[in-house]
A and B are shown apart, each in its own frame.
Chain A
């Protein structure tokens, strides 16, 4: 039948052999480690080849997937004429897919024959359409698994899971990793550990891809930790300086704290869903209500802790800015585009669990949305007060990750994933741009002391950086605009949007961030590229291996937003309806049991306009402020000087005129200044002293506690008890020894004395 044919094409070679994609960089890691130093390009060529091959495979997989999903949609549209028919067709498709995977799986790998087994996890049975015939079944996950090990009656599997989400991230990771590899050949050229750098990049890519393709939570834990280690190794790349290794340790510890949540959460899910680590099964059981709500709630909260640590959410975000101690390509790849979104990916992977556990639909507040909202504003404020261009970007990443979590928290799954997708491109572009700038300025990242006016010296970097900034700020029609707009609409409070609930608080915070983002990026761009050069180097444009990735990423930052055009926009412009919501169709599964039934918010033109104006306005205000100061002194090294003194004193009426009715001051001094000054300072102070302080105190306290326990309890009491018993025996011997003098007369004295004593007792007693 038609469905059977579709299934034949569905399980293509690329799905069943997806394991090759992480295997390539893993092999590259081993090769570079052992042979890298002897090769002409010190191992970089292996890494680039492997990642390029992985990228090609990922692209092919992506296109196969897109083709399959489109075919499914087409088949559904044909089937809707007879609704019943369509339903069975959908069901058959999913089952067939799994059936075919089963047959193929044992033959796929020869090397693991000993472990191979024909059994496969039961596929997710499509149930949704039973209730609602209108839903098209599309994007059902495709599992390729084999037995890993068994324990009692329980079997644990290892394998790959292909669905829209994993395919999307496969593409992103391999794409950005490839560009970063190329970029690094120039950027870390001549580094003391050039080969190791590439080895670790490969390892990271492998670990990340492994994580992305995991078909069960046990594998996810493995991948999760492995990317953490690579992050540790790369942050501490220049470990000779203590600050770097401190940052690396901090990153690892903070993530470990979150890992408690990960372990406990995953274990809870394992038992609550009837002893399975299988992602599909866990989700299906959570959505169908088989798993108890308490367990889901506990698991979601525990997993949120893991997300907070990995994806830099308040209050576990402090490691992320410190992680900028690593080389810039690493920051772009790991701490902006890929690893830090692992937490967001985790939420998406187990969306059924969070959906039910945190009761996302029909609510107005939940833990995830609140964490995301607080993070997004907090990160944005902090980005204002940084001198270090990479730290601005780091806090910006924190803020944007907050956006993604917020989106998932309000039930806007596609919006969150789409923002993850677009953010990866423009943030990687910005980071690599920052790296290019510092490459030109003696490896300094200080915007105030060593930059300024660079647009004249490095036009390519300037243009790509501005494009990235505009995309990040959400200026239409660049990528960030589309994804951000969807998130704001997804909160469901703007008239006519109707999402999954009335998430007022996240919505308001999201709007604030929209303005904040534009404002701090304007500041960054101004300080870096405008005014006069303030440093002492001779800035120059970077080489082609640096600028080419920048241009490619900037191009992506312009175009990827069009992948998910909102319906009304398409209608208004009279474009073909088919191009709307493409990303949603490809990434978000529909009508399957392992994915929650999400209500999609309606895109709103008015909201889009308001949000864009807000962003543009905020950017404009900051721009005015800097222009005014620039007009006064083109060489001003410290632009913040005089800001606070001017807005603390009220001025005379004469100065009202001089200051153009203080409108400038209202814009720049009070609004921007207050945000930049006291509020952000306070936030940063809280960040550095309270939140970070708590972490430091906890660290110091546990070391102190360790000392105390060791010295007083262990050495003083437990061990002492052992020693005391020994000492007592030996001490009593020492004492008794003194009695034995060897003097006969003394013995005799004792003997007679005691005899006399006994006699006396005897006499008295009787």
Chain B
């Protein structure tokens, strides 16, 4: 078993996630892309922990999953509110914080 395969998978997932965050305008899809990024990190963490025989990485991955769940919860709530206010979840239009 090669570590490389996992790392490549993680990198691929990460890139897809980043692409999704940057390119998609749909709020839900952006959140899902973030999920992809987080999961790519999880894969890295688990793979490296397995290789090093140290469980800390796996514990971390569990943390990340938990936090990601919370994050998605908050994120979806925000998206929902934006939708209610603007009848759109296009994040390009959500620029209230413009300076």
Contact = CB atoms under 8 A, between A and B. Distances in A.
Interface of A: 736-745, 748-749, 752
A741 B22 contact: no
B95 A742 contact: yes
Nearest to A733: B99
At the interface, is chain A mostly helix, strand, loop or mixed?
Answer: helix
Nearest to B18: A752
Interface in B17-35: 18, 21-23, 25, 30
Contact of B92 (A736, A737, A739, A743): A743
A737 B98 CA distance: 8
| Max chain B C-beta neighbours (<10 A), residue from A738, A740, A745, A749 | A745
A744 B99 contact: no
B94 interface: yes
Contacts of B94: 742, 744
B1 interface: no
B22 A745 contact: yes
Nearest to A745: B22
A225 B22 CA distance: 84
A725 B34 CA distance: 43
19 contacts: A738-B99, A739-B99, A740-B99, A741-B98, A742-B95, A742-B96, A742-B99, A743-B95, A744-B30, A745-B22, A745-B25, A745-B30, A745-B91, A745-B92, A748-B18, A748-B21, A748-B22, A752-B21, A752-B22
Nearest to A738: B99
A636 to B, nearest CB: 91
Contacts of B25: 745
Nearest to A741: B98
A755 B22 CA distance: 14
Contacts of A742: 94-99
Nearest to A734: B99
- B interface, by DSSP: helix, strand, loop or mixed? loop
- Kindly name the residue among B18, B30, B94 whose own CB sees the greatest number of chain A CB atoms within 10 A: B18
A742 B94 CA distance: 7
Interface residues of B, number: 14
Interface of B: 18, 21-23, 25, 30, 91-92, 94-99
Contacts of B96: 742
Nearest to B91: A744
A749 B99 CA distance: 18
A738 B99 CA distance: 7
Given A744-B30, A745-B91, 19 more contacts: A738-B99, A740-B97, A741-B95, A741-B98, A741-B99, A742-B94, A742-B96, A742-B98, A742-B99, A743-B91, A743-B92, A743-B98, A744-B91, A745-B92, A748-B21, A749-B22, A752-B18, A752-B21, A752-B22
Contacts of B23: 745
Contacts of A752: 18, 21-22
A533 B44 CA distance: 125
Contacts of B95: 741-743
Nearest to B34: A748
Nearest to A743: B95
Contacts of A738: 99
Contacts of A739: 99
Contacts of B98: 740-743
A364 to B, nearest CB: 87
Contacts of B30: 744-745
A739 to B, nearest CB: 8
B99 A737 contact: yes
A749 B91 CA distance: 14
Nearest to B96: A742
A741 B98 CA distance: 4
A749 B23 CA distance: 10
Contacts of A749: 22
B11 to A, nearest CB: 12
A372 to B, nearest CB: 80
A711 B97 CA distance: 43
Nearest to B99: A740
Residue of B25, B95, B98, B99 with highest tally of chain A CB at under 10 A:
B99
A235 B97 CA distance: 72
Contacts of B92: 743, 745
Contacts of A737: 99
B64 to A, nearest CB: 17
A732 B96 CA distance: 22
